[in-house]
Amino acid sequence: MSYNACSTYYRTALDFTEHITNAFIADIGVATDRQHQVACHKQALFIVQRLNQAHNNSDNMSTLLVARLMDAIDAMLRDAAVATAASVVEDIDQSMKGLVRAGIILSERVCGIVHARTASLLCNCAAICSDLHEISMARTYYQCAINIRDVLFRPQHPSTEAVQIDLYTLVWHHCDVDIAMQFCEDLLSTNTHLFGYDHPRTALWLSNKGDLYMVKGEHNEAISFHNRALSINQRHLHDVSTSTAMSLNNLALVYCAKSLHGVALPLFATAFNMNKAMLGETHRYTDTVRYNHRLCLVALRQ
């Protein structure tokens, strides 16, 4: 079998691996669908492992072996509703981690280490490690993905920033606030260098830094950073935008923390009206601001 033919089989296996991995992480299925996913994951893990073994011995790879592997993939694609025992669901994360790691190895061999697909699988593995509370491993996988996307797309590319935000969120939720602050300052410095001080991407990290100051109880610093973010968003994104609404909501939360509910109330109201106009009354962002506005109103009346 020619190299090109083998490469096509590998890429098909990667397509399948990435598809079911993304479906798992999206977690949009009901319990029955999830059981079906587990069965597919375990079969796919076996297939990817066999493909890796075949790749290690590519000189002796037989047409029959590849054909059998591809038949197994075709069978799963035709019938995703594979029966499985409910007990399998208990180790779903560990099974998925094994699958994605095998997919990473295969992607590095077939597509290369510095490739968008390899970076995507690294991000998936980081998300699963985070669910398993393997924070150090998750940070490592996210950082590897960032390094790859830096080379492929440059640091200012949205896909690179998306992974940076995932890493920052992981650190904030699972690490000390001072560590999160250092990450935030580094990303603020990077975005300021890339886009300039007066840019919405910079405003995002000014706002994140304001959030961290609020967590630390340094309310005046938090107000200063949120005001700076709000000013940038209003200049560049007009008065009606989700980013402007978020800045207003964040600023109002700090005023509530300082018991300045009278100052916070109109900010919540403006943010609510913006989200309602742009996203609709039932959107989760609109609901969040509505809830904050009601709490503020109750506190003001007491």
In the block, tokens 């980013």 appear at 243
What is the C-alpha end-to-end distance of the chain, expressed in Å?
79
Distances (CA, A) of 17 to 43, 48, 128, 236: 11, 8, 15, 41
**CB contact set of 166 (below 8 Å; sequence gap of 6+):** 123, 126, 127, 142
What pLDDT score was predicted for residue 230? 94
In angstroms, the CA 40 to CA 77 distance is: 9
Segment 73-98 shows an average pLDDT of 46
Domains identified in the chain and CATH numbers: 1-111 (no CATH), 116-174 (no CATH), 176-302 (1.25.40.10)
Band of residue 175 on the pLDDT scale cut at 50, 70, 90? confident
Higher pLDDT, 63 or 237: 237
What pLDDT score was predicted for residue 49? 58
Q: What six digits make up the tokens of 278? A: 């742009």
Higher pLDDT, 302 or 248: 248
Helix (H) or strand (E) holding 251: helix 242-257
What pLDDT score was predicted for residue 212? 93
Between 97-106, 160-169, 230-239, the lowest mean confidence (pLDDT) is in 97-106
In angstroms, the CA 156 to CA 193 distance is: 10
What pLDDT, in 10s, does the model give residues 117-143? 888 889 888 887 887 888 889 999 999
Between 41-45, 64-68, 259-263, the lowest mean confidence (pLDDT) is in 64-68
Higher pLDDT, 55 or 32: 55
Average pLDDT of every residue of the chain: 75
What pLDDT score was predicted for residue 247? 93
Higher pLDDT, 34 or 292: 292
Helix (H) or strand (E) holding 165: helix 158-174
What pLDDT score was predicted for residue 92? 55
Give percent of the chain above pLDDT 70.
Answer: 65
Per-residue b/e over 128-146, b at no fewer than 16 CB within 10 Å? Answer: bbbeeebbebbbebbebbb
**If we measure between CA atoms, which residue out of 73, 7, 4, 83 comes closest to residue 39?**
83
What pLDDT score was predicted for residue 251? 95
**If we measure between CA atoms, which residue out of 178, 185, 230, 183 comes closest to residue 203?**
230
Q: Give the count of beta carbons closer than 10 Å to the beta carbon of residue 93.
A: 15
Check pLDDT > 70 for residue 38.
Answer: no
Residue 75's φ and ψ, nearest 5 degrees, are -65, -40
What pLDDT score was predicted for residue 124? 81
In angstroms, the CA 172 to CA 179 distance is: 8
What pLDDT score was predicted for residue 2? 39
In angstroms, the CA 16 to CA 22 distance is: 10
Distances (CA, A) of 175 to 162, 170, 221, 241: 19, 8, 21, 31
Check pLDDT > 60 for residue 292.
Answer: yes
What pLDDT, in 10s, does the model give residues 11-25? 555 555 555 555 444
Check pLDDT > 90 for residue 64.
Answer: no
Check pLDDT > 70 for residue 65.
Answer: no
Most confident region among 28-37, 139-148, 192-201 by mean pLDDT: 139-148
In angstroms, the CA 278 to CA 44 distance is: 42
Check pLDDT > 50 for residue 86.
Answer: no
What pLDDT score was predicted for residue 72? 45
In angstroms, the CA 117 to CA 39 distance is: 24
Between 98-102, 166-170, 194-198, 294-298, the lowest mean confidence (pLDDT) is in 98-102
Segment 224-232 shows an average pLDDT of 95
Written as one letter, the residue type at 231 is S
Check pLDDT > 50 for residue 195.
Answer: yes
